[in-house]
Chain A
Amino acid sequence: MKIVVNRLAGLITTVFLVFGNAILIEQMMDLYGVRGHRLLTGIIGTLLVILSFGYSMRKKKLFKTGGMKGWLRAHEWLAILGTVIIFVHTGTHFHGIVAIITLIFMLTAFISGLIGRYVYDNVRAELRLKKANLKKGGLSDKEIEENLTGLATASESLSKWRLYHMPVISILGVMVVYHAIAALYYGGFKI
């Protein structure tokens, strides 16, 4: 129970930190009269989130550069950073149904991602018990670490979580493209 409360608190804190930071940055930009950042932050934030999907591609073995653990960390941090920048892009202005729906999916995907992170941690904790057995098998520390990351991502709990995360990400992808086309249609390409 204590672990669940701690993790829930961690999750809420992260969401608030991301939101708080984004709003603070956006307000500072307004204060210093920085203009034209909406399009730029939208593009940068989206690119960072897209880049974070390098992890999924690595997982599906579309390429073999870098270790799984490193890619997972990159996935987490790029997604968090991208989300902060996208919230700066959104700011405190909520207009346009398409933009709002996209934001809702973005927020859901972000929270779902954080939940996934905690599910992953739980799975890893369970797998740590298996570590000793792997060590007996004569594998090096690095190989064990890679093995654990691979096993953790393939676990049943994470598969269940993915059932919810995948639809959100997929629909978010479509909405982002739609939102971007609509914004460029009415706003043009000028920053």
Chain B
Amino acid sequence: MKKSYSFWLFIGCLIAGQLVLAGMKYPAPLYSTGDVVEAHGKLRCKDCHAPFKRVASESCSVAKCHPEGKIGKKPAVIDLHSRMKGKDCLICHTDHLGPKGKITKVMDHDAFKSSKCLDCHSGEGDKAHKEKYAGDCSECHNTKKWKEITFNHARVSARACLDCHNKVPKDDMHEMGAIGGCGDCHGTKAWKPSTYNHDKYFFLDKDHKVTCVKCHDARSYKKYTCMNCH
């Protein structure tokens, strides 16, 4: 029997109507785009979602969930969030990626164009930065990865290496002092690997495979003697 479009549209509305009714009782299975993270498992949809407004940050910061000033466990994280007051939580966070889902996204710096780097990146550990490099952060850092640093040593050529690289390994080589300075072994492109070339000063052939102190004074590599053997 031939039915018109209106008939089938009516049938479609009947199906949709039944789903709407079911959705009023069980919204999550009907509309959820994925399971929420374990910690959010007991929440109802309307606890976070406001009609036609996605998730308002106010829903997150209610007293029983993530009250302002108490977000995070590590002091640096708590500090960071307290400085983010008033920002949209969804810039960095998401959900519905499964019970074990990673709900912190890669930071979208574009959302903070009006802010300065130091509005957020100004923890205790950055004091050293402030004192030595008060300039533009983007000279060394990018917004994709904080640890992907491209340090320009030309900016600090007048400084002694030890002003910054003050965590010198406690071994003979470093404690006694290098022959010509840090630059003998280290480059400015990468601190590791170091490339000290002993052959430049004395070729260590098979008869000279001995410990450092056999030839060098224990207090300085600049001093040496052959008399311990010859």
Contact = CB atoms under 8 A, between A and B. Distances in A.
A166 B5 contact: yes
Nearest to A188: B54
A182 B54 contact: no
Interface string B3-30: 1010011011101100110010000011
Q: Which of B29, B33, B49, B106: most chain A CB closer than 10 A?
A: B33
Secondary structure type dominating chain A contacts: helix
Nearest to A100: B30
A171 B2 contact: no
B9 A173 contact: yes
A190 B91 CA distance: 12
B147 to A, nearest CB: 18
Interface string A155-191: 0000000010011011111110110001111111110
A180 to B, nearest CB: 12
Interface stretch (A3-11, A13-21, A91-99): A91-99
Given A96-B30, A96-B33, A178 B5 contact: no
Given A186-B49, A190-B54, A174 B9 contact: yes
Contacts of A101: 15, 19
B197 interface: no
B137 interface: no
B11 A187 contact: no
B76 interface: no
A33 interface: yes
Nearest to A189: B52
B9 A185 contact: no
B12 A175 contact: yes
B94 to A, nearest CB: 9
A191 B13 CA distance: 28
A174 B20 CA distance: 12
Given A178-B20, A188-B53, A167 B3 contact: yes
A33 B29 contact: no
Given A173-B12, A175-B16, A95 B54 contact: no
14 contacts: A96-B31, A96-B33, A97-B19, A101-B15, A163-B2, A170-B5, A170-B8, A171-B9, A184-B52, A185-B52, A186-B45, A187-B33, A188-B54, A188-B55
